[in-house]
Chains A and B, each alone.
Chain A
Amino acid sequence: MTYTTLSLTLIFVLIPLLLSKTLKLGLEKDTIIATLRSIIQLLAVGYILKFVFEAQSYLYIFLMVALMILVATLNARKKGAGIKGITWKIALTLIVIEVVTQGVLLGFNIVPATAQYIIPISGMMIGNAMVLSILFLNRFTAEITSHHNEIELILSLGGTPKQAIHRQLINAVKASMIPTIESQKTIGLVQLPGMMSGQIIGGADPIQAVQFQLLIIFALLTTATLSSIMIGFLSYPALFNERMQILEMK
C-alpha cells in the first residue's frame, strides 16, 4: 500500500469529524488527537519493528518486551492506586505471563524463536493481561468498598483476611474473565479476529491463519486466568495490616 493510498483512508476520520461538528458532539479535538497519535505511534513502531526484525538480536527483543511490560504496568496501576505496592505486583504478573506463554510456545517449538513471532505474540499477551488487570482492579476495589461491612463482619467473628475477602476476590476474578470467555464463544461467527484477518489480507492460507488464531486464543485463556488470579492474590494482603485489620483504601 502506498502512502497516497493510505492517505485516502483519512476519509474514515473525516466522517466522524463532520458528524461530531454537525451534531455538536464536541469530539473533534479528541478525534484529531487520537488520529495523530495513532499515526505517529504506529509508524514509529513500524520502523522500530523493521529495525529489530532485521537485526534479529535477542537484546532488542528483550528491550521491546520490557518496554511493553513497563507501559502496560504504568497504565494498569492507576486503577489500583489504593493498593500498596500495586506497581510491582502488576509488573510481576505481566512478567510471569510472558515467561509462561513464551516458555510453552518456544519450549515446545510451537513457533520459531524469532522477533517476528515473539514480539507480536508478546504484545497480544501483555496487552490482554493489562486489560484484564484493569478490569479486575476496577471490580475488586468496587467490591471492597461496597462490601466493607461484610469483610469487617468476617474478621470480627475470627476469620482471616483471606476468608474475609474471599467472596470479593472470586467475584472480581470471575467478572474480569467473563469478557474473554464470552468473546471466544462467538469468535469467527460475529467477527474475524484481527490477527487472522491481517494474515488473510496479507495472502496467507486461511487454514494456517486459523491455526495461528487458535494458538493465540488458547494462550489468551491462560493469560486471562493467570493475570486476574495473580493480581488478586498478590493484592489482597496489602488491604490488611499485621493485626488482620482492614485498612482504609486511599
Chain B
Amino acid sequence: MNTLYEPAIHLQQVSFSANDKTILKSITGSFPKGKITTLVGPSGAGKTTLLKLCNGLLSSTDGQILIDNQDISTYEPTALRQHVGIALQAAPMIAGTVFENLALPRSLQEKGLTEQEAIQYLQDVGLDQSFLQRPTNKLSGGQRQKVSIARTLINQSSILLLDEITSALDRQSVQEIETLIATINKKYNVTIIWITHNLQQALTIGHYTWVMMDGELIETGKSSLLNAPKNPRVAEFVQGVNA
C-alpha cells in the first residue's frame, strides 16, 4: 500500500482462528487515513472477520492492530467502537421504530437524538420522515440497510467499516449511498473501509483496494489494480465476477 499516507489502521501479521479453523492468515497492511479502501474477494475470504477485528467485536489470535498508531488492545472497548463504527451486513435492528434505532447509538451514551436530527440522517440515506415512526419489522431489506447506514453515521466515527451495505439496494439507491459515503469521506475526512462484491463499485468509489482470498491478503494497491491484476488468482477472480 502507498506509504505516503498515514495509516488509520495498520495490521501487522494479524491472524484469527476460531473453533480450530484458521480464518485470517498473517495479514499485514494499512488502510490510509481519509481514504476509501474497498475489500473484495470471494465469500469466506475473511473480509467480515477483518472488519470485526478492527471494530473490536473480535480479537486477533496473533499479530498486532494499530488504530491511529495506537495498539487496539489499549483502547477502552466502548470508546474504540465509537471511534471505529461498523455497519453490519445483516443490518440488525432492535425491536421498535426506526427512530428508536436511530437514537440507539446516542442512548447508549445516555444522550438524546432530536426528531429533527433523525430526519436529517434519514434524508441523507434517501428516506423521508414518514419512516421515522415505522416499526423496523415493516421495512424492506433495502430500507433496513439504509436505516442501518444512517444509524452507523450517528456516532460520527473517524473510521467507518461498511460490510456489503448496498447488497439489497436497487441501482438508484446504490448510487445515492455511494454519493453519501463519498461526501462523508471528503467533507469530514472519514476513513472508509468498504466490503463489496461489486467490482465496478470498488473501482469507482474506492481509492484503494484489498483483494482477499482464503484468509490471505493477495493483492493491494490503487483500485485500478482491478483493471490489470498482477496476481493470476486475482485476475481469475476478477474475470469470474465480470463474466
5 pairs, A vs B, C-beta closer than 8 Å: A153-B94, A158-B79, A158-B81, A163-B108, A244-B56
The interface of chain B, by Cβ under 8 A from chain A, is 19, 55-59, 73, 77-79, 81-82, 85-86, 88, 90, 92-95, 104-105, 108-109, 151-152, 155
A153 CB contact (under 8 Å) in B78, B92, B155: B92
User: Within 8 Å CB of B155, what residues of A?
Assistant: 157-158
Interface residues on A, range: 10 to 19
Indicate if the CB atoms of A149 and B108 lie closer than 8 Å. no
Q: A154 interface residue, CB < 8 Å from B?
A: yes
Q: Is A208 an interface residue (CB 8 A)?
A: no
Pair B88/A152 contact, Cβ less than 8 Å = yes
Interface contact A243-B59, CB-CB below 8 Å: yes
A149-B78 CB under 8 A given contacts A163-B108, A167-B94: no
A159 within 8 A of B: yes
Neighbour of B57 across the interface among A160, A163, A167, A245, CB < 8 A:
A245
CB < 8 Å A-B pair total: 62
Are A155 and B57 interface neighbours, CB within 8 A? Answer: yes
Task: Kindly list chain A residues whose C-beta atoms are within 8 Å of the C-beta of B59.
Answer: 243, 245
Q: Establish whether residues B58 and A157, one from each chain, have CB atoms under 8 Å apart when the complex forms.
A: no
Interface residues of A (CB under 8 A from B): 149-150, 152-160, 163, 167, 243-245, 248
The reply to whether B82 and A156 form a contact with Cβ atoms under 8 Å apart is no
B77, closest chain A residue (CB): A244
- Which of B19, B55, B79, B93 meets A156, CB within 8 Å? B55
How near does chain A come to B201, taking the closest CB pair, in angstroms? 23
Q: Please state if B105 and A158 are interface contacts (CB–CB under 8 Å).
A: yes
- Give every chain A residue within 8 A of B105 (Cβ-Cβ): 157-158
